[in-house]
Amino acid sequence: MTRPTRGPKPTSFRERNPVVIGAVSLAVVALLVLAAFRAQDLPVIGGGDTYYAAFAESGGLKANDEVRIAGVRVGKVESVELDGDHVRVEFRVESDSGFGPDTRAAIKVKTLLGAMYLALEPAGPGQLAEGGEIPVERTSSPYDVVDAFSGLASTTERIDTDRLATSLTTLADLTRNTPQEFRKALAGVSALSSNIAARDQQINTLLKNLDRVSGVLDERDRDIVGLMKDSDVLFRALVARRDAVHGLLVSTASLSRELTALVKQSRADLAPALDHLRNVVAVLNKNEDNLDSSLRLMKPFYRVFASTLGNGPWFDTYIQNLPPVPQVGG
């Protein structure tokens, strides 16, 4: 009886080539990292459709700002890039909100600190095709104060103030037979026009300077927004430390009250002591010359005395004009 032959023994995991296993593992890790960075483009995880909108200017809009329809967040801005003479905004709509091919888009202010968002105004039947672009004709940017002041300056420069004053004066002369109130109103307008004509150069200078100021503010808008954000952080820190600041002020007030009470209580004891101190100082001032002479005369004595005692634990001295000691027993 023959035994059945067995097939080749399967190779265990430890016996496999570690180089191949490492290469496969690195490839899998690289694919996972790539999928994590591009998760928004995946059909299941990312979701949403991508659209574009063309604006005359960015208006402070930036990537990751919200996209809203009727005030409800429906997606976010992906990128804001310059495309020729206009700005091309790429945004993704993550919900199932529908908006037609005639939809309008506007950049609006979200907060007082300068945060913006992209507002969609649905219009038209059906749904805007994925990847479609809203043209510049159907988009609007925030109100630009710089352009407004620039336009005002250029408009006022073209006004002939002398002719305006003359025309208003003529109108006032022609309406002299009109009611008193109307004549007073026209006279006031005429006086106003005359004042404007007299201050034409100053008004033009003011508007030009205002145009420069608005230009500087426009150039420093990011710095102003940053300053406002830093101020917001400072105010938040002060609010967070409000209890500590309140405790410090209360403790300071208590310390001032205790010091005031201590001074009031010690005033009766301090007054006699200060009077005695004043008398002592007066005596010292009166005997200032005597004290100086005593200190000057003590200097040689202390120098000799120090020299005498500086030889060891004994000292030699000599007393003059004493009689000799008598001898006893001799």
Query: Who contacts 156 (Cβ-Cβ below 8 Å, separation ≥6)?
Result: 203, 204, 207
Which phi and psi angles does 13 have, rounded to 5°?
Answer: -65, -35
Q: What is the DSSP letter of 311?
A: G
Nearest to 106 by CA among 69, 155, 160, 80: 69
Joined tokens for residue 246: 């309140």
Helices 221-240 and 242-286 cross at an angle (nearest 10°) of 80
C-alpha distances (whole Å) from 71 to each of 25, 66, 99, 119, 124 are 47, 10, 14, 8, 19
Beta-ladder partners of 120: 69, 105
Q: Reduced to 3 states, what is the DSSP secondary structure of residue 191?
A: helix
Nearest to 80 by CA among 92, 62, 65, 106: 62
Beta-ladder partners of 89: 53, 80
Q: Reduced to 3 states, what is the DSSP secondary structure of residue 69?
A: strand
Cβ–Cβ under 8 Å, residues 285 and 279:
no
Q: What is the pLDDT of residue 44?
A: 44
Q: What is the pLDDT of residue 52?
A: 95
pLDDT tens, N- to C-terminus, the chain (330 residues): 455 555 555 555 556 667 677 777 788 877 776 766 665 555 444 567 899 999 998 888 999 999 999 989 999 999 999 988 899 999 999 878 888 999 999 999 888 777 899 999 999 898 898 999 999 999 998 755 455 556 666 666 677 777 777 777 777 676 666 666 666 776 777 777 777 777 777 887 888 788 788 777 777 777 888 888 888 888 888 888 888 888 888 888 888 888 888 877 777 777 777 778 888 888 888 888 888 888 888 777 767 766 666 666 666 666 667 677 677 665
Residue tagged 């104060």 (tokens): 145
Q: What is the pLDDT of residue 311?
A: 62
Helix residue spans in the chain (DSSP H):
18-37, 145-157, 161-174, 180-198, 200-219, 221-240, 242-286, 288-308
Q: What is the pLDDT of residue 43?
A: 47
Beta-ladder partners of 119: 68, 106
C-alpha distances (whole Å) from 224 to each of 139, 210, 217, 237 are 26, 18, 8, 20
